Chains A and B, each alone.
Chain A
Amino acid sequence: MQTVVTITGRGLPLPGNDIDTDRIIPARFLRCVTFDGLGEQVFVDDRAQASGQHPFDNPAYQGASILVVNGNFGCGSSREHAPQALYRWGIRALVGESFGEIFAGNCTAIGVPCVTTSPLVIRQVQQLLQSDPQTLLVINLEPLQLGCDSHTWPVELGPGTRRMLMEGTWDACGQLVGQAELIRARAAQLPYLHWGQ
């Protein structure tokens, strides 16, 4: 599987706390049996209300791959449709103050890191991207840094998640299935699977 160590690309600033997964992809677009096509619907209602002024519609940010957000991004519903929609739009990594926990786990499961840093750094990076959308950002999970031409900033990521991404084991399925013996042994010891036997 593909290792995720550095992500390089232009950034897209999306200010605001508590942006929930219903906003990233409204529930009506979950009426589907595949994730295909979700990229076009990302933030669809927010974008309609912003009448073309939403960062995802700004021509300057087309082709960006690093989303820079504030606190508690991706809170709410567990729908993986949210990271899938962002991924299909072109997002390959997120930098934020904090993330909804289920959302961050869903991102990891598709190889998209959600790294965190301080509100101050987020503000600096968002301002930088607003003044110069062409700025190239680099996230490097090895030293855990976010950088551009002129600056580097420290970022954080849980040690387990970091290793899974760097070693290319972020899709845990194969690893989990490979432990069939241990799984059966654990099941044999759980009393509620064997009541009265």
Chain B
Amino acid sequence: MSQGTLFDKVWDLHTVATLPSGQTQLFIGLHLIHEVTSPQAFAMLRERGLSVPFPSRTVATVDHIIPTDNQARPFADQLAEEMIQALERNCQDFGIQFYQVGSGRQGIVHVIAPELGLTQPGMTIACGDSHTSTHGAFGAIAFGIGTSQVRDVLASQTLALPKLKVRRVEVNGSLPPGVYAKDVILHVIRHLGVQGGVGYAYEFGGSTLAAMGMEERMTICNMAIEGGARCGYVNPDATTFTYLQGREFAPRGKAWDEALAWWSSIASDEDAVYDDRVVFAAENIPPTITWGITPGQGIGVDEVVPVLENLPPADQPIAQEAYRYMQLSPGQPIQGTRVDVCFVGSCTNGRLSDLREAARVAQGRRVATGVKAFIVPGSEQVKHQAEAEGLDQVFLAAGFEWRQAGCSLCLAMNPDQLQGDQISASSSNRNFKGRQGSSTGRTLLMSPAMVVAAAVTGQVTDVRKLLGMTN
């Protein structure tokens, strides 16, 4: 059993009681809600006559259903309009802060909470969205929950949960040029599997993580859930504190000094005990891309689609299903695969540093004929900052569409959807069958730089070649 890890410390600090079932009643320090998984929770509160005792600890925004081209109200999709109206009404009735479109603070929930300084080390954070693990980048224990649990948090600010085990996932060394945080997490999931993390929290560490900025750490923790781990985190350090200082909801003055001392104290101890430990070498990580229908079906951009006989028996049935669905043949190089749609955005890779890398590749190039390519900033703030730096102009000049903030094509609950069996190069997090809005649509997951490389060549391309980084 783990001991002395950040996970243990934060868990203990937030334990309200041990329930008769043996599960922990855990206090939730920050609750984030959005339009998709909250309406039924509010309906349940009303049915049961329950109130919200800590309304200031819940923050709402709208992201999943929002169109990214025309956000004028009412939305063309009447169901989407009903959902945003329900959220507006629920937030008003229960006294919850709602960051509305046009407020300057709206965006994907996992982008706005960090950039506003709401997400802080040592917190417990819950949201009705599996990518809540993102917030672990700050040294918070953050996890996705279902709608009944959203109800529980609204009604009590607590959840009933069994404690997780802790696996230390260490990555050491310098990443080669053209290899990004996205490649690191796709590589980790490729090797630990999509269910390897079930029952675990992943503590990401090592010198590679230490050298990363907060946005890169968020990309890594974001996809912990794709490896089966409900939460992933990184111990807070000077990089974390520098990121937070001066943000809207970060502590200031005397409170800042108190916070620094406390945040440092909750990091895992030197002699912490883990339930498991795995180590990766950064130098061995290639630009990584998924070829199949789970995020664990990743390969280096120089590799071929795996041959069935080379896979462990347990992985063979899903590989066969993936060959058929993706229309790819075993042994076929992934490079050169034609793409129809290129998407940079999402809670995984829709932040300013992602857009800067994407723009670096797009600069002076043109989107290939027949390819639909678009860039969706993760929040209104990201959009504003990117425009201040002129990134939008780089993208527009290269033939990309420049959109407004939202979840967009990642899950296609809005007008951004694949058609038929279109294949997308996508900086998002899931390549599940039908994920991007068409039941036969196909998704190749990769870093934002690789998405742009695919957009300007019309096919899967090693971004290192475009940038003259061949080794």
Contact = CB atoms under 8 A, between A and B. Distances in A.
B413 A31 contact: yes
B411 interface: yes
Nearest to A196: B255
Contacts of B17: 179, 182
Q: Bin chain B's interface residue count.
A: 35 or more
B160 A176 contact: yes
A195 B255 contact: yes
Given A72-B194, A173-B155, A182-B17, A20 B230 contact: no
Contact of B254 (A30, A46, A173, A196): A196
A120 interface: no
A28 interface: yes
Interface of B: 13-17, 19-23, 25, 27, 29, 36-37, 39-40, 43-44, 48, 50, 53-54, 57, 64-65, 77, 79-80, 82-83, 86, 120, 122-123, 128-130, 132, 143-149, 151-152, 155-162, 194-195, 198-199, 225-226, 228, 230, 251-255, 258-259, 262, 293-294, 314, 317-318, 321, 411-413, 430, 432-435, 437, 439-440
A176 B29 CA distance: 15
Contacts of B21: 159-161, 163-164, 167, 169
A117 B294 CA distance: 23
Nearest to B153: A176
Interface in A118-164: 158-161, 163-164
Given A102-B230, A163-B20, A109 B148 contact: yes
B156 A196 contact: no
Contacts of A75: 194-195, 228
A183 B318 contact: no
A101 B199 contact: yes
Contact of B160 (A35, A45, A159, A175): A175
Contact of A176 (B39, B156, B434): B156
A58 B36 CA distance: 31
A159 B22 contact: yes
A98 B294 CA distance: 16
B434 A72 contact: no
Given A186-B27, A190-B13, 16 more contacts: A16-B318, A18-B318, A45-B433, A48-B439, A71-B195, A79-B36, A80-B40, A176-B155, A180-B156, A182-B25, A187-B27, A191-B259, A191-B262, A192-B29, A193-B29, A196-B258
A169 to B, nearest CB: 6
A180 B146 contact: no
B433 A32 contact: no
A187 B413 contact: no
B317 A17 contact: yes
A101 B132 CA distance: 14
Contacts of B145: 78, 102, 105
B404 to A, nearest CB: 19
